[in-house]
Chain A
């Protein structure tokens, strides 16, 4: 059997237009066919960030395709009846825990006429009832009652053969990995550990092996396509260049020990560095030769950089993605999840969940909270990300139809390396994207 990464050929075919009865991309009305450039994933057509037709295709082929999509964490829904709303692509979903402690996910859309069945973004429920006509569902998404099902005084009502069992909420398959819940619409998605591969699984277990707690939650509304965000988090090239804070205060340099890792499929990635492991003598960093380094700067109160060695492997910065839309990060002791949700072709919403461990001492929580200054929409090392992805969205407007990005740092490889002067991790994303989207 031919395999494309970890997804079998048959899984891929099921996801392809010709096999799903969807209009092939080349025949979309008014939209010229997208042919991937001959150079492969070292080139990315700008149209992918901008075309409403492609956004629609992503909903059916990628988000409803053979992908595991981030839904939430155990610590967000600890008790029976707890739920949290999220999105898989554009689709609104409910993640909840039933009476027996089992975790379920279903589309937040009444089987009757399509209304949201749950409005508040989190809470605790015994059931989900649609306010429109009071169709009610249990915590597994089964339809349990229909208002006036037998009519009123024998008149009206649903047909006698109406079967509640055929009208539940649409369900996702859910898998849980060390308290992290993922969902998929496709039967073809391989088991999560197979999807992740051994290296990605091991690194995810590293931080998510103990009960966690949420210490912050907010979102950032971005005026750019969601894929620009995933490229950005998978891009070790920009870290010490765009984020002057990183370089100026010596938090991250290319000279530090670290790795850019990809799983065998290339879909998922990790980039990590170990601070305090480099000697900049003789490198490009020596003597302030790099124009963007402001190593003369001194913090008035370096409390923000206080940290403790939390992981025995000595990793001080780590960003890990699970294709397609979720990022797990460790910046010193600042732990968190970032989940990007597309909001149409030109906008996206980035949900940040900041974490600590349930058994953290107060001083540890305090350090995590201080370090949170580094990340998020006001973060010393992430404020620029929202700016620059928007600059790309604006920069690509009105280009030639075949205009494209050059992603050639480190050649054309899609492989792990010890240096981070590479864009292999971005190419891995596009490899996965092409396989799922059939480009």
Chain B
């Protein structure tokens, strides 16, 4: 199949390669949370970063407050510290299902991409529910061998949360 030459294709990284790197990062991200390896989660972000879980509707209305807002790797680590040490909630398990990633723009330094996700939550009594659905809007930087999130917006389709959000989405 003939590939149309674009400006992006002439750069050091093309959209397909960017997509593969984002997908790899997202899959590791999801596995890290679903496996409960929360302490590894902040390292998937740049030191200065922005992680926001907010309803899509709120985001579109220009609201700034959602459920989680972290503006540094340290704030991400504090979320995990509190999840482990101070938060009280019933033990639960997430299972992320990550959909197809669309790279919106990319260059050698990084890219912006959107990826739909769902999270199934299982509580200790065995009850399972579709806990969250939405899309990730990610700004990813490529640092040598690693890809890291510089910004991760977790836009939830619902404005309503079932009881509480403990672990990150």
Contact = CB atoms under 8 A, between A and B. Distances in A.
Contacts of A349: 160
A294 B82 CA distance: 11
A220 B75 contact: no
Contact of A299 (B81, B160, B161, B166): B81
Given A244-B86, A300-B77, A384-B89, A378 B67 contact: yes
Query: How many interface residues does chain A have, given as a range?
Result: 35 or more
B162 A221 contact: yes
Given A297-B81, A373-B68, A219 B86 contact: no
A32 to B, nearest CB: 30
Contact of B71 (A214, A222, A248, A303): A303
A337 B53 CA distance: 20
Contacts of B68: 373, 378
B109 interface: no
B152 to A, nearest CB: 15
B88 interface: yes
Contact of B67 (A218, A243, A303): A218
Contacts of A214: 61, 63
Interface in A197-245: 214-223, 242-245
Contacts of A372: 65-66, 69
A383 B87 contact: yes
B67 A215 contact: no
Interface string B25-69: 000000000000000000000000000011100100101111111
B145 interface: no
A354 interface: yes
Interface secondary structure of B, over-half rule: mixed
Residue among B55, B82, B90 facing the most chain A CB atoms (10 A cut-off): B82
B78 A300 contact: yes
Contacts of B82: 245, 380
B160 A220 contact: yes
A387 B71 CA distance: 27
A384 B159 contact: no
Interface stretch (A43-51, A62-70, A362-370): A362-370
A377 B161 contact: yes
A245 B86 contact: yes
A297 B166 CA distance: 19
B99 interface: no
Given A301-B75, A369-B64, A387-B90, A223 B159 contact: no
A377 B162 CA distance: 8
A304 interface: yes
B163 A216 contact: no
Contacts of A304: 75, 78
A221 B159 CA distance: 10
Contacts of B165: 377-378, 383
